[in-house]
Amino acid sequence: MPDVLPHIVILGGGFGGLTATQALARTPARITLVDRHNHHLFQPLLYQVATAGLSAPSIAAPLRQILRHQRNVTVLMDEVTGIDLAPRRVQLTRERLDYDWLIVATGAAHAYFGHDDWAGNAPGLKSLDDALAIRRRVLTAFERAEQEDDPARRQAWLNFVVVGGGATGVELAGTLAEIARHTLAGEFRRAQPSTANILLVEAGPRVLAAFDPALSAKAQRQLEQLGVQVQLGQAVTAVDDAGVTLGGQRIAARTVLWAAGVAASPLGRMLDAPLDRAGRVSVQDDLSLPGHPEVLVLGDLASVQQDGRPVPGVAPAAKQMGQHAGKLVAARLHGDTRAMPFRYRDTGALATIGRMAAVAQFGKLRLSGVLAWWVWLGAHIWFLIGFRNRLVVMLDWAVAYWTQARHARIITGQDKRTDRG
Per-residue mark of binding to its own copies, 21-50 (x: CB under 8 A): ----------------xxx-----------
- Pick between residue 60 and residue 208 the one whose CB is nearest to its own copies: 60
Among 147, 225, 237, 249, binds its own copies (CB under 8 A): 147
In angstroms, the CA 183 to CA 266 distance is: 39
Cβ distance to its own copies smaller for residue 370 or 410 = 410
Q: What is the 8-class DSSP label of residue 191?
A: S
- Taking CB under 8 A as the rule, does residue 95 contact its own copies? yes
Is 146 among the catalytic positions?
Answer: no
DSSP for 374-418, please give it: HHHHHHHHHHSSSHHHHHHHHHHHHHHHHH---TT----S--HHH
Closest separation in Å from C-beta 131 to its own copies:
9
Report the C-alpha gap between 200 and 257 in whole angstroms.
10
Percent of the chain as helix, strand, coil, to the nearest 5: 35, 25, 35
Window contacting its own copies (CB under 8 A); options: 100-108, 245-253, 261-269, 394-402? 394-402
| Phi, then psi, of 375 in degrees rounded to 5 | -65, -45
| Dihedral sign (CA 115, 116, 120, 122) | positive
Backbone φ, ψ for residue 228 (5° rounding): -85, 135
* 413 makes contact with its own copies (CB under 8 A): yes
Position among 129, 224, 240, 285 found at the interface with its own copies (CB under 8 A): 129
Strand pairing class (197-202; 228-232): parallel
Chain CA centroid to CA 109, Å: 8
Give Cα 30 to chain centroid, integer Å.
30
Annotate each residue in 168-197 with x if it binds its own copies (CB under 8 A) or - if it does not, as one string.
------------------xxxxx-------
**Residue 144 near residue 126 (C-beta atoms within 8 A):** no
Residues 242-281: x where in contact with its own copies by CB under 8 A, - otherwise, as a string: ----------------------------------------
User: Interface with its own copies includes 98 (CB under 8 A)?
Assistant: no
21, 31 Cβ separation under 8 angstroms: yes
Stretch of 103-111, 146-154, 263-271, 285-293 lying at the interface with its own copies (CB under 8 A)? 146-154
Residues 55-74 that bind its own copies (CB under 8 A): 55-58, 60, 62, 64-65, 68-69, 73-74
327 part of the interface to its own copies, by CB under 8 A: no
The one catalytic residue in 171, 178, 202, 224 is 171
Task: Tell me the C-alpha to C-alpha distance, in Å, between residue 356 and each of 216, 359, 377.
Answer: 16, 10, 10
Minimum Å distance from CB 13 to its own copies? 13
Contact flags string 372-391 toward its own copies, x per CB under 8 A: --------------x-xx-x
- DSSP secondary structure string for all residues of 28-86: SSEEEEEESSSEEE-GGGHHHHHTTSS-GGGGEEEHHHHTTT-TTEEEEE--EEEEETT
**Identity (one letter) of the amino acid at 114?**
G
Q: Say whether residue 409 binds its own copies (CB under 8 A).
A: yes
What is the SS3 assignment for 316? helix
In the complex, minimum distance from the CB of residue 80 to its own copies, in angstroms, rounded to a whole number: 14
Query: Active-site residue numbers?
Result: 171
Q: Which residues bind its own copies (CB under 8 A)?
A: 37-39, 55-58, 60, 62, 64-65, 68-69, 73-78, 94-95, 128-129, 132, 139-140, 143, 146-147, 149, 186-190, 386, 388-389, 391-392, 395-396, 399, 405, 407-414
